[in-house]
Structures are given as structure tokens and as C-alpha cells.
Structure 1
């Protein structure tokens, strides 16, 4: 497995140790030590996965994760020494894909990175026919270009980044409408309906976005 991993960690020795293990596993590594530099670095370098420490100078990991989710579905693993359950839940609520608690084994981190990348389905690997281009807000399914609006693209990117994970309508609204405008749950339902219709034009026999009654929506990888 290959790809670029960004480590956002203010402890140099720990960051370098993780970087060494990841490089030995075939990954390229980028290091960021300051919270204020994290979001611009992710925006510019577009890593395949981010290892994000919770406690950082300048800006904490929760806020960084929330900001990143406004423009990217890159997989994020939160790394934290704060093991209270509320912190774990908040980390996932803000859009993290997984979390690891300190102290940890670097080998465990590498294994979790690989697991999230396999589960997440990046454009280069395990995409099952769906390719997303975040720079152009475009999507291609089985070679067919999908004519998506910006909101439809964001919805698809969020669901696609975490196959099998159920997102409530509130969670989807929070991620899509970063200006905190007031919208109803039916707005999300309407966007999902239109998105499904466009997906069906490229793959009529595949139901990719599933409704979970009383909860929300999830993306399911088609069986091969």
C-alpha cells in the first residue's frame, strides 16, 4: 500500500518515530507541528490520510478536523491522550474516521492507517468505479461523468469516504452548510434523491446510497 500521510503532531520525537514506521511501510510522509498551519497544509498538499493530534499549539485538533471537513473528505485519524468518552465521540462527530489513544504502538498506528485507507476507498485504490476530483468538484462512475451540484458532490464525498458508516441528517447538514444557515431535514432528503437519480444513470443496477430508517444515510460498496 502506498500514499501520502500527513502527521500533525507537535512532539518532534513522536512525529519522527511515526514517520519512520510509515516510510518503512511504503508511505510518503509530511510533518506539520503547528495547529495554525494544519488546514493550509492539507488544502495545499492533499494527503491521502491525516494523523491529527488533538492537543496542538495555535489550534486544537477538533477545530482543525471541523474546518477540513468543509472542503475535503480526506480520512482523518485523531490521536489523543484524552481518553474520556466525550472526546472520542466529539472527534468522530466532527468528521474523524477513527481515533487512537496515547500511549500507543507505532505498529498499531500503521495498521490502523492501512485499515482506514482500505475502508475509505480513495480515488487511486478500492474505489469500485467511483472517482472523485475534489479540486474540480467532479465525479465519475464507471467512466460516466456525473453532473453534480456542489452540494451533491459534498454529500457524495462525505458518504463515500466512510463506507458503511451511517450519517444522520443533522451531521450531513453541519458538514455541508458551514455558514450555519438554517435548513430542514427535508433539504438533505431532496439532495439525496437527486444524487441517487444521477448515480443510477451510470449504474442502474447498483444502489450505492442507502436509507437507514429513522437515522439517516450510508454509502455501501457494491459486492463484487
Structure 2
């Protein structure tokens, strides 16, 4: 059973999410205070974190930053703000997804399932670069590099569609879903993060001006 940590100071909303997810066979834990959230996180080691931005004592940005410095587990940010800046800032800090309030629980569930889904058939190796979706691990010349779930999902999609031109709209639909309402700059931010993880193989992801991106196998 997957464990989800809900960090949300609106108690009614937190309990609604908790009850809904329990009915979907998730093990859930709720924290209302930012100061206590990190302690609970380290003690619990959940499979996914639902994280509000506006929290007492320690805000969601701070919590997201510290979690990402120590873990690659999935983080979905929750906020009443409907701002592209907030969304991009969360992605820059390492969040995997972003939902605005009022939250549609069915859409939230779909995003959780999408992020936690693991396809054991995905395994890739070419010229010193390997990728295993089962462990979300990237290997560069036999050195293991951890990826966040969104980074892994993007890399998997690039590999499965290598040498094809993938528009930002196409990537948004495949990685975030058709219900995603954010701008396509989120794609650029995620690609930037993934390229950094790829190191010397980063140039396999080609930027095609005005068209999108393409993953091309290139020998080094």
C-alpha cells in the first residue's frame, strides 16, 4: 500500500483528501504545521507528498526545497494561488506537479496514479547511458543518478519516441495530462532539470526552435 503524506493547514480540505485517498487504498497521514512536516516526512518516508504552499511557521517552498535536497520522491504542490510564477517556482525547486484549489479530487487522484505508476518493461542502454524506470535510476558510465518521477517520466517518453519532434503541447499532454492548465514554460524547466542530470549526454535532447524537442542517440 502506497503511503501519502498530506501537508495542508486547511483541516477540512486535508481530511477530505485523506478520506478520499483511503477509499482508493492509499495509506494517508496528515500534518497541519510546516515545522512538524519535515520531522514527519523523515520518520514516515512516504511514497508521495501533497504539499500546500501557505503553511504556518514554515512554508511549502522551504519544505519542498529541503525534501528535494535529500530525496527524489514525488511532490505535488497545492495552493489557492493561480499564478504561473508560483507554478514555475515550484518546478524550479523540484516539485513534480502542481494543482490549484479548489481541488478536484478525481483529477488529483489521476495525477497521483500517473506519477506513482511504474512500467517494469522500460529499460534502456546506449553508449554508457542506462535508464531503468522501475527504480527511477539513470546511470551515466556506471554511476547511478537519481531522477525525480517527472524527470524519469520525461526521459522515458523521449527514449520511446527518439528521433521524433515532440512539441511542448504534446509533452504537456503526455507528462502532465490533458487537464493541465499551466503554460508550456513548465516543459522547458523540466527539460533543463533533466539535461543537468544527463551530464555529458545532455546534448541528446535537442531543442528545435519553434517546434519543441527531440531525443537523438549520439555516440561520444
Give the shorter-chain TM-score range: 0.5 to 0.7
Deviation at 1:70, TM superposition (A): 0.8
Superposition RMSD in Å: 3.4
Aligned to 2:43: 44
Matched residue of 1:163: which SS? helix
In structure 1, distance between residues paired with 2:103 and 2:74: 20
Structure 1 portions without partners, runs of 5+: 134-138, 174-187, 194-208, 220-224
In structure 2, distance between residues paired with 1:171 and 1:62: 23
Aligned to 1:56: 55
Aligned to 2:93: 94
In structure 2, distance between residues paired with 1:161 and 1:39: 23
Instruction: Report if the CA contact (8 A) 2:48-2:73 is conserved.
Output: yes
Matched residue of 1:109: which SS? helix
In structure 2, distance between residues paired with 1:99 and 1:212: 24
Matched residue of 2:56: which SS? coil
Correspondent of 2:153 among 163, 167, 171: 163
Deviation at 1:93, TM superposition (A): 1.3
**TM-score normalised by structure 2 residue count:** 0.63
In structure 2, distance between residues paired with 1:48 and 1:157: 14
Matched residue of 1:30: which SS? strand
The number of equivalent residue pairs is: 167
Instruction: Report if the CA contact (8 A) 1:21-1:107 is conserved.
Output: no
Instruction: Report if the CA contact (8 A) 1:74-1:161 is conserved.
Output: no
